[in-house]
Amino acid sequence: MKKKILYGLFTISLNFLFINVTSQDIALPAPDKTGGKPLMQALSERQSVRAFTKENLSQQQLSDLLWAGWGINRLEDKKRTAPSARNVQEIDVYVALPSGLYLYMAESHILKQIHNRDIRAVTGTQDFVAGAPLNIIYVADLGKMGKKEGDVIKESDLLSSYANTGFIAQNVYLYCASANLGCVIRGMVPKDKLAPEMGLRSNQVIILSQTVGVPLKN
Ligand SMILES: Cc1cc2nc3c(=O)[nH]c(=O)nc-3n(C[C@H](O)[C@H](O)[C@H](O)COP(=O)(O)O)c2cc1C
């Protein structure tokens, strides 16, 4: 156990040395891997929520949510809280916050700022999306599956990426139920508008989006 913790600390420090962390990036606090609601209770409470307060998530909530969704839970071989076909791990988790667009770097557990524009409104076609504090965008990096920029991408190339995203999104649903947050996974995403706003390459494909926030109680 002690060896595992030391190995983890060593890996995190190395990542900070080699990843260019800027002042615009968000260095997340360590995820709280204890507590939360029992699994059966979280499953009982899991649901889609589409009305949110304007309250931002705390950095601890962001940290816990991203780790629960797609964090590394076995440091030695960099495996994650969700499975992925052949362990390719091609799904990148982008986060649209009021302060800008970020990419979740699971190894260093930081949010790397892509730019400082608020693109929440472009992540979906439904009204609640623009005002919710957080919109996650799941992007398949097909470069990790051998596709080069300019290559033709067929729907069948994306089958496992849809499945892999489903596992991550369900982890986020369960974390939200456990933390009294609300969320909804969304296929209604204006991908042609959103991809250029995110600066994606042609071999990066938006799969789904997921809105998260504090539920508005009626
Ligand atoms: C692949 C997929 C795409 C979805 N797309 C949307 C969407 O674009 N907008 C939305 O409001 N809900 C969307 N949903 C949420 C479903 O409407 C919701 O899960 C369903 O109504 C059941 O409700 P529950 O999640 O509360 O059980 C989507 C769900 C899935 C699995």
pLDDT, one tens digit per residue, over 36-52 is 999 999 999 999 999 99
Closest CA to ligand 1's atom 10: 186
* Residue matched to tokens 């939200």: 176
pLDDT band at 21 (very low <50, low <70, confident <90, very high): confident
Q: Check: CB of residue 154 under 8 Å from CB of residue 216.
A: no
The reply to whether ligand 1 has any atom less than 6 angstroms from the CB of 184 is yes
Using the mean position of ligand 1's atoms as its centre, give its distance from the Cα of residue 186 in Å. Answer: 6
pLDDT in tens, 174-184: 999 999 999 99
Tokens of 174: 């369960």
User: Which residue's C-alpha comes closest to atom 31 of ligand 1?
Assistant: 185
Give how far Cα 7 sits from Cα of 2, 17, 75, 126, Å. Answer: 9, 15, 8, 44
pLDDT, average across residues 90-102: 97
Q: 186 CB under 6 A from ligand 1?
A: yes
pLDDT range class, residue 22, cuts 50, 70, 90: confident
Could you give the 3-state DSSP secondary structure of residue 211? Answer: strand
Which residue out of 185, 206, 208, 209 has the highest number of ligand 1 atoms within 8 Å of its CB and is therefore the one to mutate? 185
Residue 27: CB within 6 Å of ligand 1? no
pLDDT at position 218? 61
The pair of three-digit structure tokens given for residue 51, joined into one six-digit string: 């009305």
List C-alpha distances in Å: 24 to 17, 28, 119.
17, 12, 17
What whole-number percentage of the chain has pLDDT above 70?
Answer: 90
Phi, psi at 57, each rounded to 5°: -80, 150
Q: What distance, in Å, lies between the first and last C-alpha atoms of the chain?
A: 46
Q: What is the pLDDT of residues 141-168, one digit of tens each?
A: 999 999 999 999 999 999 999 999 999 9
- Which stretches within the chain are classed as H helix? 2-18, 39-45, 59-70, 128-131, 159-178, 191-198
What pLDDT does residue 14 have?
A: 45
Tens of pLDDT, residues 196-218: 999 999 999 999 999 999 999 86
Strand order in the sheet with 182-186: 26-27, 110-115, 100-105, 91-97, 134-141, 204-213, 182-186
Rounded distance between C-alpha atoms, residue 51 and residue 56, angstroms = 14
Q: What local confidence, expressed as pLDDT, does residue 62 receive?
A: 98
Beta bridge partners of 141: 204
Please tell me the distance between residue 173's alpha carbon and the centre of ligand 1 in angstroms.
11
Q: What is the spatial distance between Cα 96 and Cα 116, in angstroms, rounded to a whole number?
A: 10
Nearest atom (ligand 1) to Cα of 189? 8
pLDDT at 197 (0 to 100)? 98
Domains for the chain: give ranges and CATH numbers. Answer: 22-213 (3.40.109.10)
Whether 31 has a pLDDT exceeding 50, the answer reads: yes
Q: Is residue 189 within 8 Å of residue 125, measured between CB atoms? A: yes
How confident is the model at residue 23, as a pLDDT? Answer: 81
Ligand 1 touching residue 50 (CB < 6 A): yes
Residue 20: band (very low, low, confident or very high) from pLDDT cuts 50, 70, 90: low
Mean pLDDT of 89-96: 98
Report if pTM > 0.75: yes
Q: How far is the CA of 187 from the centre of ligand 1 (A)?
A: 8
* Minimum CA distance residue for ligand 1 atom 6: 186
More confident residue, 146 or 3: 146
CA 163 to CA 91: how far, in whole Å?
10
Mean pLDDT of 187-195: 98
Q: Which residues of 115-128 are buried (b: 16+ CB within 10 A; e: fewer)?
A: eeeebbbbbbeeeb
3-class state of residue 187 by DSSP: coil
Rounded to the nearest angstrom, the distance between the alpha carbon of 215 and the centre of ligand 1 is: 16
Q: Which range among 4-18, 59-73, 164-178, 188-202 shows the weakest confidence by mean pLDDT?
A: 4-18
Could you tell me the distance, in angstroms and rounded to a whole number, from the CA of residue 74 to the centre of ligand 1? 31
Q: What percent of the chain has pLDDT over 90?
A: 88
